[in-house]
């Protein structure tokens, strides 16, 4: 039997081992718990950093978009002089309100703060002065002092029962003087608002704070708390902690009232972005991960590892979801531009190593806007989705089909042994999209135009290949659509020429490089001048004389056709004023109008304003349109007719004419295209077509004007056929206003001799 000493000695190692094991268990548990706590905090910081970036992006998107929208709307209001005549601007702001669901309302104010127009408030209702409104006075004074967009305090707009962020944008004239202030209220609860698109975990909260100590935006926030949050100032301690972050790095974080905060300062908008979560959430998360009893260290390690693994997997899933959202199109599920550019770069590297070719194809749906406008965006979105599915079927697994935006897709064909292989895919794409699309109860036909660039022939990097494919796409669309075109150096030179023309054309009006000529029109029976067609010419200081056939399409594509059209109309009005005492009675000016001009809903109003400014009557003008315009915008044509303008169909017989249009639309004049007149003496078919057009005009009681009369034989044929009016070099060359006045003087003298 052992002595007491022996027993104590034998128990000491056991105790030591037990203590050692306990210390080891406690130490291991503490180390593990410490690591888990650090990881939870790191994940929270990473998540808050991500949300902070999204908040900054959302705030910039909201204010940049609304600032641009109000600037454009304000300039349009200034053009309409809506400050003086508010009702001129009402249709415009009502339309903008309908298409901008995130805006609760629009307003227009004078520089003294007096509102003259508010969307949704009928005429005659007294409107407040912004300087006299507590929630608006400070931001209004600020916008008048700085000329920059200002945001006011978030407040409850009782008339609309909405919580709104008021924004003010100064509208300046050409001298930089503020002439009016556009106001709008951002509906912070609108589903379409960018902020509300942020999908936040339930424990996260985002806020935007104003420098005056009020919250601008809080999410999530229950309705019954909004008055308390938005009407009262931020707690002083929290306000000081957030304000102290101004000028610090984006990683500035602090703890306040047991919440973890991350604050960043938006210098552009003078606002603070704040993301926060309760620290109790971190503790609960840690407790969840350490729920396994600590007495069994091995079990603890296994279960802890599983918990960690699950948490890590969830984080990766969350990150993968964010990556997918950033790299895939949400509608079609195709790669977006970001991912497509990465794949194109990788494809180029593989092609370099394997010394093979690849093709970059831009696919653009023809007339997609008509489908969107005619059937609505839901149908348009479904069409895009079905197009994406069909495009996938035309390519191999290794190839890429991406959506770049709108109705534009990108196809990357890798590992082409021959460049001709791309033609096979192009034919497949045409065939796939030519079949009708079944959307609901409708069958919709959609075709495409494509531009193709080949590596390495047309470029060695993504930027060059995309530019080449885009240039080829432009040529395909210019060639009539529903076709494809390969890039060539000639196309590149043409694209560079278009860029050069557009740049020079933007300064042409200001530099007095544009001038009018007048093509006289004659009565083929009496021989007297009855009217003139105004023609626009361009003598560029840098490019020399530029043909209208070259610069008019560029003007239409760039949107410059609007101011150029107004210039032409002013010149026509000035001519009519100059020839009042010389021209024969009923003398008219023919003005060419493009479909692009008619698509502008304000065009007819602008037309009337110019005529009123010059004291002219619409009955003195013929509006010349092409046959395609009859189909594209019939409502505008009817409106022109109702205003007193006569409508002339230019180049009749060269487009897709339908006799039903002549009876359906208020057409007064048919102009026979010079391509028919040119060969009427020698080509029997052209002669018969010309006679048919003249007879059609007689049947519908329309005036017929023959274009391009260049010989006496052509003139005699047209007279005998019964064509009453004509124009062309044989009758009179295009001439300046002074030359036209001289011609009228001669005619007047001849009439005096031989009335």
* pLDDT tens sequence across 204-233: 898 999 888 899 889 888 888 989 988 899
Collect all residues with Cβ–Cβ distance below 8 Å to 638 and sequence separation of at least 6: 665, 666
Nearest C-alpha neighbor of 728 from the set 738, 717, 714: 714
**DSSP-based three-state secondary structure for 19:** helix
Find tokens 């010309």 and name the residue. Answer: 690
685 vs 297, residue with greater confidence: 685
Task: Classify residue 195 by its DSSP letter.
Answer: G
By DSSP bridging, strand 529-540 and strand 514-523 are antiparallel
Q: What is the pLDDT of residue 718?
A: 92
Span 334-381, pLDDT tens digits: 999 999 999 999 999 998 888 888 999 999 998 888 888 778 889 999
CATH code linked to domain 337-487: 3.30.70.270
**Phi/psi class of residue 114: alpha, beta or left (left: φ > 0; alpha: ψ in -120 to 50)?**
beta
CATH code linked to domain 504-753: 3.20.20.450
Q: What is the pLDDT of residue 294?
A: 44
- Residue 108 to residue 74: CA distance in whole angstroms: 8
Torsion sign, CA atoms 345, 349, 350, 351? positive
Nearest C-alpha neighbor of 143 from the set 114, 111, 96, 104: 111
pLDDT higher than 80, residue 295:
no
Span 105-146, pLDDT tens digits: 888 999 999 999 988 888 888 888 988 887 778 888 888 998
- Is 629 buried (19+), middle (13-18) or exposed (0-12) by CB count in 10 A? buried
Q: Give the pLDDT band (50/70/90) at residue 191.
A: confident
- Is 125 buried (19+), middle (13-18) or exposed (0-12) by CB count in 10 A? exposed
**Phi/psi class of residue 215: alpha, beta or left (left: φ > 0; alpha: ψ in -120 to 50)?**
beta
On average, the pLDDT of the chain sits at 83
Q: Give the pLDDT band (50/70/90) at residue 705.
A: very high
> How many Cβ atoms are within 10 Å of 628's Cβ, its own excluded?
12
Architecture field, domain 42-290: 2-Layer Sandwich (3.30)
Q: What is the pLDDT of residue 110?
A: 92
Collect all residues with Cβ–Cβ distance below 8 Å to 143 and sequence separation of at least 6: 149, 150, 168, 169, 170, 181
Span 10-56, pLDDT tens digits: 444 545 544 565 666 667 777 877 888 888 888 888 888 888 888 88
Q: 371 and 446 in contact (C-beta within 8 Å)?
A: yes
DSSP element (H, E) containing 145: helix 134-146
Span 64-73, pLDDT tens digits: 888 888 898 8
CA torsion angle 598 599 600 603 (round to 10): 10
Q: Give the pLDDT band (50/70/90) at residue 7.
A: very low
Q: What is the pLDDT of residue 28?
A: 73
Find tokens 């965006």 and name the residue. Answer: 377
Find tokens 């860029």 and name the residue. Answer: 499
- Residue 437 to residue 386: CA distance in whole angstroms: 8
Q: Give the pLDDT band (50/70/90) at residue 307.
A: low
Q: 449 and 477 in contact (C-beta within 8 Å)?
A: yes
**DSSP-based three-state secondary structure for 293:** coil
Q: What is the pLDDT of residue 535?
A: 93
> How many Cβ atoms are within 10 Å of 67's Cβ, its own excluded?
17
Span 557-604, pLDDT tens digits: 778 888 899 999 999 999 988 888 788 888 999 999 988 888 888 888
Contacts 24+ apart (CB under 8 A), 386-390: 386/437, 386/439, 387/332, 387/433, 387/437, 387/446, 388/332, 388/333, 388/334, 390/432, 390/433
Q: What is the pLDDT of residue 569?
A: 93
Backbone angles phi, psi at 467, to 5 degrees: -65, -40
- Residue 596 to residue 374: CA distance in whole angstroms: 18
Q: What is the pLDDT of residue 20?
A: 62
Q: What is the pLDDT of residue 494?
A: 61
∠ at Cα 601 (596, 603), nearest 5°? 70
Backbone angles phi, psi at 255, to 5 degrees: -115, 135
pLDDT higher than 90, residue 747:
no
| Token output for 548 | 């209208």
Span 482-540, pLDDT tens digits: 888 888 766 556 667 777 888 888 888 888 899 999 999 999 988 889 999 999 999 98
pTM of the model: 0.46
pLDDT higher than 50, residue 288:
yes
Domain ranges (residues) in the chain: 42-290, 291-327, 337-487, 504-753
């Amino acid at each position: 039997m052992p002595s007491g000493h022996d027993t104590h000695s034998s128990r000491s190692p056991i105790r030591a081992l037990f203590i050692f094991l306990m210390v080891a268990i406690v130490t291991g548990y503490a180390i593990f718990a410490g690591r888990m706590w650090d990881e939870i905090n790191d994940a929270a910081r990473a998540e808050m950093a991500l949300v902070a970036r999204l908040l900054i992006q959302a705030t910039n998107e909201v204010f940049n978009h609304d600032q641009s929208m109000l600037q454009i709307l304000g300039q349009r209001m200034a053009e309409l002089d809506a400050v003086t005549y508010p009702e001129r601007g009402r249709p415009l702001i009502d339309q903008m309100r309908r298409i901008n669901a995130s805006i609760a309302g629009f307003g227009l104010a004078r520089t003294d703060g007096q509102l003259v127009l508010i969307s949704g408030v009928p005429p005659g209702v007294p409107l407040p002065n912004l300087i006299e409104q507590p929630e608006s006075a400070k931001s209004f004074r600020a916008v008048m002092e700085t000329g920059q967009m200002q945001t006011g305090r978030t407040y409850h707009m009782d008339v609309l029962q909405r919580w709104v962020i008021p924004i003010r944008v100064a509208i300046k004239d050409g001298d930089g003087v503020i002439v009016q202030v556009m106001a709008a209220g951002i509906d912070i609860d609108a589903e379409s608002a960018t902020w509300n698109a942020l999908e936040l975990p339930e424990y996260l909260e985002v806020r935007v704070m104003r420098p005056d100590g009020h919250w601008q935006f809080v999410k999530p926030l229950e309705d019954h708390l909004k008055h308390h949050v938005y009407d009262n100032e931020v707690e002083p301690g929290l306000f000081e902690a957030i304000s102290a972050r101004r000028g610090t790095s984006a990683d500035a974080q602090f703890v306040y009232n047991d919440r973890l905060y991350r604050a960043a300062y938006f210098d552009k908008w003078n606002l603070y972005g704040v993301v926060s979560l309760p620290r109790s959430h971190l503790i609960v998360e840690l407790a969840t991960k350490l729920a396994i009893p600590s007495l069994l260290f091995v079990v603890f390690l296994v279960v802890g590892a599983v918990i960690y693994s699950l948490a890590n997997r969830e984080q990766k899933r969350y990150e993968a979801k964010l990556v997918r959202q950033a790299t895939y199109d949400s509608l079609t599920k195709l790669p977006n531009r970001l991912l497509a550019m990465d794949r194109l770069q990788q494809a180029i590297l593989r092609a370099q190593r394997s010394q093979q070719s690849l093709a970059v194809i831009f696919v653009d749906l023809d007339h997609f806007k008509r489908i969107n406008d005619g059937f609505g965006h839901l149908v348009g979105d479904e069409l895009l989705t079905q197009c994406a599915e069909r495009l996938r079927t035309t390519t191999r697994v290794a190839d890429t089909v991406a959506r770049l935006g709108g109705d534009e897709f990108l196809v990357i064909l890798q590992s082409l042994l021959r460049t001709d292989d791309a033609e096979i895919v192009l034919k497949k794409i045409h065939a796939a999209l030519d079949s009708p699309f079944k959307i609901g109860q409708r069958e919709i036909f959609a075709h495409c135009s494509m531009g193709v660039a080949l590596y390495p022939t047309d470029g060695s990097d993504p930027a060059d290949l995309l530019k080449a494919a885009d240039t080829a796409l432009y040529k395909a669309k210019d060639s009539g659509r529903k076709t494809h075109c390969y890039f060539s150096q000639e196309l590149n030179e043409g694209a560079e020429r278009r860029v050069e023309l557009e740049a020079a054309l933007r300064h042409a009006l200001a530099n007095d490089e544009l001038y009018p000529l007048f093509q006289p029109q004659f009565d083929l029976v009496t021989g007297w001048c009855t009217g003139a067609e105004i023609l626009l010419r361009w003598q560029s200081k840098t490019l020399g004389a530029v043909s209208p056939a070259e610069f008019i399409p560029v003007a239409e594509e760039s949107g410059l056709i609007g101011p150029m059209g107004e210039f032409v109309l002013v010149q026509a009005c000035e001519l009519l004023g100059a020839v009042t005492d010389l021209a024969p009675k009923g003398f008219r000016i023919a003005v060419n109008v493009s479909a692009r001009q008619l698509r502008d809903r304000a065009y007819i109003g602008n037309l009337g304003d110019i005529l009123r400014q010059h004291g002219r009557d619409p009955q003195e003008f013929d509006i010349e349109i092409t046959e395609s315009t009859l189909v594209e915008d019939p409502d505008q044509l009817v409106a022109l007719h109702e205003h007193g303008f006569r409508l002339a169909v230019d180049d009749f017989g060269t487009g897709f004419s339908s006799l039903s249009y002549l009876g359906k639309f208020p057409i007064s004049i048919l102009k026979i295209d010079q391509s028919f007149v040119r060969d009427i003496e020698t080509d029997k078919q052209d002669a018969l077509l010309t006679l048919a057009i003249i007879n059609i005009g007689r049947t519908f009681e329309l005036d017929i004007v023959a274009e391009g009369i260049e010989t006496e034989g052509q003139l005699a044929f047209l007279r005998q056929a019964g064509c009453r009016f004509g124009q062309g070099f044989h009758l009179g060359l295009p001439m300046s206003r002074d030359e036209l006045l001289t011609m009228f003087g001669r005619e007047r003298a001849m009439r005096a001799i031989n009335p």
